[in-house]
Structure 1
Amino acid sequence: MTKSCWRHLDLSLCSLRIWDQVRGQPAHPDNPARFCHLLEETRSLLSGRNFLHENETAQPIKIRSPGETLIVNIRLMVAAVMAKLFESIGKLGLALAIGGGVVNSALFNVDAGHRAVIFDRFRGVQDVVVGEGTHFIIPWVQKPIIFDCRSRPRNVPVITGSKDLQNVNITLRILFRPVTNQLPRIFMSIGEDYDERVLPSITTEVLKAVVARFDAGELITQRELVSRQVSEDLMERASTFGLILDDVSLTHLTFGKEFTEAVEMKQVAQQDAERARFVVEKAEQQKQAAIISAEGDSQAALLIANSLMEAGDGLVELRKLEAAEDIAFQLSRSRNVTYLPSGQGTLLQLPQPKESRHRAARLRPDSGLNAWDERGRTAAP
């Protein structure tokens, strides 16, 4: 230690207790004046020495007073002073640690979306629900129980039977949260793990009761109705335990393997029946179309025959003229030059006037064998 350190150090450490350790004598001498003289001389000697060197601290100091001489070992004296100093610091640190522990145990925090219930060792669970923030409690006597009051999801799988005794696998998704003002009752009657104790049991109970009212096919076709009935019954059942269900939905709905295969086979059979019915209907339509077409052709032929009987060859000649006119029109629109041979074989046997036909008959070599009648038809001789 340097001289400046000794000056800043309280020299009152060389008090009665230090002299008790150094001299091994009572702290209160008979002559106070002599003791004060020794104390002042010790202070002057200590403040004038440099204790950084080993030789200085190892050498003893002689303190003289009227009628008495003391020999003091400086190393032992410094060790005693530092021991007293560290002891005081240790006591202060221990007191601070104990005080900090007490303060820390007397405070607790409630996060956002949470609530706390206070359990008192002497009075039990208190009815007051503690909100968010930092709060004080009595250490060891009181203990806070924190509850999460936000909506939390939970999936509950259930295997039950339908009205027609088919196994149904259903998974129900639930969004739940506790009623805030009923947290003390929930903690006393159910416990902190209320969701594990309540939700699986009431969900299974409600699902089995609702699914048993419907057939397997109705569970698929009327799924919305089933979900609504499950939601209403489950919310009513959960309210008796102090729980609020924000949403209830059917996320998974399947049947047994045998029933699934039977449904698939039924669907295939229905599709085959629909296909066969379509083929039959198509054939029936084709048949009707053929009948209608035949009837139309028959009626057309009958009308043509009647026309021929009434008008003779006039209708045929008219059709020939129309065909010749159409051919001539098409040839006139063509860019190519068309040469038509002369004679009766040009294009069609177009009708000719009666005089022309009689003239042609007279010019023919076999005019004596056949003769033309008045309507232009050949007649037997």
Structure 2
Amino acid sequence: MADFQKKINSGALGGVAAVAVVAIGFLAFTAFTTITAGSRGVLLTFGKPSDRVLGEGIHFKIPLVQSIVKIDTKIKKGEIDTGAASKDLQDVTATVAVNFHPDPERVNILYKTIGLDYASRVIDPSVREVMKAVIARYTAGELITQREDVKNNIKTQLQARMVTFNVILDDFSIVNFSFSKGFTDAIEAKQTAEQLAIKAQRDLERIKIEAEQKITQAQAEAESLRLQKTNVTPELIKLREIEMQTKAIEKWNGQLPTYTGGAMPFLNLSAPK
């Protein structure tokens, strides 16, 4: 009986030892956490965030007492649709793209004050609020013609706003501006009218140039005729007559004409006497 009791006690001790070994192994395994590239860690002690941010690598934590929240700090991209009113009270719908990431050195404060859903709680509202404020400073036409200036103003204000939430804005772009159908039709009509006006101006310039060319050509021809008349002299006329006679002689074949005429009747020079 005593031996049996000893075996029970021994088995119990062995079981306890085995459990202890497993527990120690489990605790040892969970005591270390790896922070991968592009991430940071927030150490929590009984749920309270630490003032220290954990960088990339292996970190120790006290099992059952501490835990580590991993936060992705790589650049994220989002597209947001928002509506606003322009300075001249035109309804404007805009689609914008934002690239952002949490400030790696302040993720503990971000987690403590906002949490992991900071994109929906900070980015979206900030973009919509800044868009409304900036768009209200421009007319609908200026939003089209000064689009780059509008973009830069929005980006500057958005950067200043987001940094207060420990989020860094990497890039901002306006994907599209949309207006009411009436305003869009008016813009298209204006562009068509401007294009027609440009074409008419070009046609007018072309006609003017062609007319000037014809005038110049006519003036040149008139001047040529005037010079020719001025240069006609008796000597020149005599010279032209001599040139014509010379050419006629060159063409003569040496035979007298069969008939000749004048004051006397025509005679047949080839008839026998």
Which category of TM-score, normalised to the shorter sequence, fits these structures? Answer: 0.7 to 0.9
Q: What is aligned with 1:330? A: none
**Shift in Å, 1:232:** 1.4
1:245 aligned to 2:142? no
Tell me the distance in 2 between the aligned counterparts of 1:314 and 1:284. Answer: 41
Root-mean-square deviation (CA, aligned residues, Å) is 3.7
Q: Deviations over 1:22-63 (max 9, x none)?
A: xxxxx9xxxxxxxxxxxxxxxxxxxxxxxxxxxxxxxxxxxx
Q: What is aligned with 2:45? A: 120
Tell me the distance in 2 between the aligned counterparts of 1:140 and 1:88. Answer: 25
Residue ranges of structure 2 left out of the alignment (5+ in a row): 255-259, 265-273
Structure 2 counterpart of 1:108, one-letter code: T
Q: What is aligned with 1:96? A: 21
Q: Give 1:289-328 correspondences, 5 Å limit.
A: 289-308=213-232, 311-312=233-234, 314-315=236-237, 318=240, 321=243
SS in 1 for 2:97: strand
SS in 1 for 2:88: coil
Q: Give 1:59-138 correspondences, 5 Å limit.
A: 91-121=16-46, 124-138=48-62
- Tell me which structure has the larger Cα radius of gyration: 1
Of residues 206, 210, 216 in structure 2, which corresponds to 1:286? 210
**Shift in Å, 1:191:** 1.3
Q: What is aligned with 1:225? A: 149
1:166 aligned to 2:90? yes
Change (3 A) 1:366 1:266: farther
Of residues 353, 356, 365 in structure 1, which corresponds to 2:262? 365
Q: Deviations over 1:158-177 (max 9, x none)?
A: 23333333343433332322
Tell me the distance in 1 between the aligned counterparts of 2:204 and 2:239. Answer: 46
**Shift in Å, 1:233:** 1.2
**Shift in Å, 1:110:** 1.9
Residue ranges of structure 1 left out of the alignment (5+ in a row): 1-14, 21-26, 28-80, 326-338, 344-362, 368-381
Tell me the distance in 1 between the aligned counterparts of 2:15 and 2:115. Answer: 45
1:262 aligned to 2:186? yes
Q: Deviations over 1:80-123 (max 9, x none)?
A: x8x9998776555434333333333433322222222222338x
Q: Give 1:4-43 correspondences, 5 Å limit.
A: 16-18=2-4
**Shift in Å, 1:204:** 1.3
**Shift in Å, 1:236:** 1.0
Tell me the distance in 1 between the aligned counterparts of 2:16 and 2:35. Answer: 34
**Shift in Å, 1:341:** 4.9
Change (3 A) 1:307 1:195: same
Tell me the distance in 2 between the aligned counterparts of 1:321 and 1:200. Answer: 100
Change (3 A) 1:317 1:149: same
**Shift in Å, 1:365:** 0.3
Are the aligned partners of 1:307 and 1:315 in contact in 2 as well (CA < 8 Å)?
no
Tell me the distance in 2 between the aligned counterparts of 1:90 and 1:319. Answer: 147
Compare relative contact order (CA 8 Å, sep 6+) and give the higher one, 1 or 2: 2
Change (3 A) 1:304 1:112: closer
Between the two proteins, what is the percent identity of the paired residues? 30
Tell me the distance in 2 between the aligned counterparts of 1:288 and 1:99. Answer: 104
Tell me the distance in 1 between the aligned counterparts of 2:141 and 2:239. Answer: 73
SS in 2 for 1:155: strand
Q: Deviations over 1:250-294 (max 9, x none)?
A: 343444444334333333332222223333332233333333333
Tell me the distance in 1 between the aligned counterparts of 2:99 and 2:139. Answer: 28
Change (3 A) 1:287 1:136: closer
Structure 2 counterpart of 1:107, one-letter code: F
